């Protein structure tokens, strides 16, 4: 089966590409490499076709999506902080880009579009865990762009019969997640700092909680969403499946794995961040037959092992 992955050179997208190739699918990647990296596709280089282009470019979309049965729309400008710095560009890529993907998918005869949404759409509502029937309450332009894009998916399903699935990711982490950006996520930032013997910086008191989802578990949900008959027209949470973890506890877990004996330092809380986040994954479990399998400690150990393996390969 032919599949297209937009943003396929990114962190989650490249893991998705590997999984699809393992299952024997023909895969085309559309990526402009503004944040994605070619080294993420190194293991798949001779088995995947790469179209370099922007998701807002119809010619690039026509090239990448031609003949694809399923489109996995992973491409986005992520991070709340980035959207505060440049709300116009983030909204244009995330919302206009999603509309462009939906139009191309409809016109080129794709069966289904699986969209990478975000738990940020829930905002800072105090009710936990977050359930898909809750009203959205975005606190940043990034969150607003994802919430609006979800509405377009629902509209295309209702108006044109295009099968669409939106998956709300909760704090995905794992190998290939870069710490080399001012918008980097907390797990790679902590891992990088402690591995180098530096104290990680916690924004705020560290008691804020997150629902961490290991990338292989997230990708498993994405792949299942491509074919699950009861998923079309749905919005589904994809989280870690356990209890929420405080940022202080995350720092402790990473320190144990890398052998760091220092203490974190605290900085000011970041604008736009929510206080607590925890996914109710009941709907994804029932609609996709999916369940997360990886504990946070195990996932962090896999990051350590992947980095060690990469270091061994670079020395040989």
Catalytic positions are 142
Q: CA dihedral in degrees (246, 248, 252, 254; nearest 10)?
A: 70
Integer Cα distance of 10 and 7 in angstroms: 6
Q: Which token pair is 295?
A: 């504990």
Rounded (10°) angle between helices 186-195 and 247-258: 40
Q: Which token pair is 82?
A: 């980035």
Q: Is the bond leading into 129 cis (omega within 30 degrees of zero)?
A: yes
The two beta strands, 245-246 and 209-210, are antiparallel
The two beta strands, 213-214 and 172-173, are parallel
The two beta strands, 213-214 and 70-73, are unpaired
CB atoms within 10 A of CB 132: 18
Q: Which token pair is 186?
A: 């907390």
SS3 content of the chain, % helix, strand, coil (to 5): 45, 20, 40
Integer Cα distance of 47 and 67 in angstroms: 17
Integer Cα distance of 190 and 255 in angstroms: 9
Integer Cα distance of 96 and 77 in angstroms: 12
Q: CA dihedral in degrees (78, 82, 86, 91; nearest 10)?
A: 20
Q: CA dihedral in degrees (280, 284, 287, 289; nearest 10)?
A: -120
Integer Cα distance of 223 and 288 in angstroms: 9
């Amino acid at each position: 089966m032919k599949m297209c992955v937009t943003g396929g050179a990114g962190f989650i997208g490249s893991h998705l590409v590997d999984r699809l190739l393992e299952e024997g699918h023909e895969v085309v990647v559309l990526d402009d490499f503004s944040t994605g990296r070619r080294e993420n596709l190194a293991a798949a280089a001779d088995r995947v076709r790469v179209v370099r282009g922007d998701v807002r470019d119809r010619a690039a979309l026509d090239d990448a999506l031609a003949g694809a049965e399923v489109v996995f729309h992973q491409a986005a400008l992520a991070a709340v902080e980035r959207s505060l710095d440049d709300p116009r560009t983030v909204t244009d890529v995330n919302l206009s880009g999603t509309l462009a993907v939906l139009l191309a998918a409809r016109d080129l005869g794709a069966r289904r579009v699986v969209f990478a949404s975000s738990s940020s759409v829930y905002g800072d509502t105090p009710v936990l865990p977050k359930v898909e029937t809750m009203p959205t309450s975005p606190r940043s332009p990034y969150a607003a762009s994802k919430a609006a894009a979800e509405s377009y998916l629902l509209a295309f399903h209702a108006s044109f019969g295009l099968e669409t699935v939106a998956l709300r990711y909760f704090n995905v982490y794992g190998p290939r997640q870069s710490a080399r950006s001012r918008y980097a996520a907390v797990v790679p930032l902590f891992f990088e700092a402690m591995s180098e013997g530096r104290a990680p910086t916690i924004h705020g008191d560290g008691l804020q909680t997150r629902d961490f989802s290991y990338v292989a578990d997230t990708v498993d949900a994405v792949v299942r969403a491509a074919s699950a008959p009861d998923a079309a027209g749905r919005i589904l949470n994809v989280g870690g499946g356990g209890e929420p973890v405080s940022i202080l506890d995350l720092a402790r877990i990473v320190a144990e794995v890398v052998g760091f004996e220092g203490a974190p330092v605290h900085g000011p809380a970041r604008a736009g961040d929510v206080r607590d986040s925890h996914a109710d994954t009941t709907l994804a479990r029932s609609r996709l037959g999916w369940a997360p399998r990886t504990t946070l400690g195990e996932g962090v150990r896999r990051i350590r092992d992947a980095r060690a393996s990469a270091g061994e390969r670079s020395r040989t």
